[in-house]
Amino acid sequence: MCLTLTLNAVSAAANTTSTAGTTAQDKKVNTTTTTKTASTSTNYAAGSSTTIKVLIYSGPEAASDCVAGVKTSLATANSQNLVNGVKFNYATSTKITTSILSGYDLLVMPGGSGGGYYLKSSNIYGTAIKNFVKNGGGYLGICAGAYAAANFVHGYYNGWGIAPHVNAYAVGYTGNLPVTFTSDGTSVIKRSGTLTLHHYNGAAMYLRSSGAKIFAKYADSKSGYKGYAAIVGDYYGNGRVVLSGPHPEMSPQYPDIIANLIVWATKTTVSTTPSTPTTQKATVSQIQTAAASVKTFYETNKRLPNYVTVNGAQLTMPKFMYLLATATIQLNSGSTSTITVKNVNAAPKISGSIKSGNIQKAEYITVAKRIVTFINTNGRAPNFLTTKLGTLSFTKAVYTFSKVLAFYKTNKRLPNFVAVSK
Q: Which residues of 42-60 are buried (b: 16+ CB within 10 A; e: fewer)?
A: eebbeebebebbbbbbbbb
Residues 116, 13, 80, CA angle at the centre, nearest 5°? Answer: 130
Q: Considering the chain, what is the average pLDDT of its residues?
A: 87
Q: Report the C-alpha gap between 45 and 362 in whole angstroms.
A: 35
Q: What is the predicted pLDDT for the residue at 273?
A: 57
Q: Report the C-alpha gap between 119 and 104 in whole angstroms.
A: 21
C-alpha 91: how far from its chain's center? 18
Q: What is the predicted pLDDT for the residue at 26?
A: 25
Q: What is the predicted pLDDT for the residue at 280?
A: 76
Q: What is the predicted pLDDT for the residue at 272?
A: 60
- How far apart, in Å, are the Cα atoms of 57 and each of 97, 222, 262? 11, 30, 15
Closest CA to 397 of 296, 286, 322: 322
* DSSP state for residue 113 in the 8-state scheme: S
Closest CA to 156 of 185, 191, 118, 130: 118
The string of DSSP letters for 63-127 reads -HHHHHHHHHHHHHHHHTT-STTEEEEEEEES-B-HHHHTT-SEEEE-SBS-HHHHHH-TTB-HH
3-state secondary structure of 57: strand
113, 4 Cβ separation under 8 angstroms = yes
3-state secondary structure of 247: strand
43, 74 Cβ separation under 8 angstroms = no
| Percentage, residues of the chain above pLDDT 90 | 76
Sign of the CA dihedral with 19 first, then 110, 200, and 6 last: negative
Q: What is the predicted pLDDT for the residue at 312?
A: 74
Q: Report the C-alpha gap between 235 and 241 in whole angstroms.
A: 6
3-state secondary structure of 58: coil
Q: Strand pairing partners for 87?
A: 51
Strands 353-354 and 357-360: unpaired
Q: 64-81, pLDDT tens digit by residue?
A: 999 999 999 999 898 877
Alpha-carbon dihedral 110, 114, 116, 121, rounded to 10 degrees:
-60
Q: What is the predicted pLDDT for the residue at 314?
A: 80
Q: 361-416, pLDDT tens digit by residue?
A: 999 999 999 999 999 999 999 999 999 999 999 999 999 999 999 999 999 999 99
Longest CA–CA span in the chain (Å) reads: 75
351, 310 Cβ separation under 8 angstroms = no
Asked if residue 309 has pLDDT above 70, the reply is yes
Asked if residue 137 has pLDDT above 70, the reply is yes
Q: What is the predicted pLDDT for the residue at 113?
A: 94
Asked if residue 358 has pLDDT above 80, the reply is yes
Cis peptide before 164 (omega within 30 of 0): no
Q: Report the C-alpha gap between 152 and 179 in whole angstroms.
A: 22
Q: Find the mean pLDDT for residues 140-160.
A: 98
Q: Report the C-alpha gap between 173 and 184 in whole angstroms.
A: 26
pLDDT band at 2 (very low <50, low <70, confident <90, very high): very low
Q: Report the C-alpha gap between 264 and 236 in whole angstroms.
A: 14
Q: Strand pairing partners for 81?
A: none
Q: Strand pairing partners for 212?
A: 210
213, 265 Cβ separation under 8 angstroms = no
H or E, element range at 293: helix 284-301
Q: How many CA atoms lie within 13 A of 348 on its CB side?
A: 3
This prediction has a pTM of: 0.63
Q: What is the predicted pLDDT for the residue at 274?
A: 53
Q: What is the predicted pLDDT for the residue at 301?
A: 87
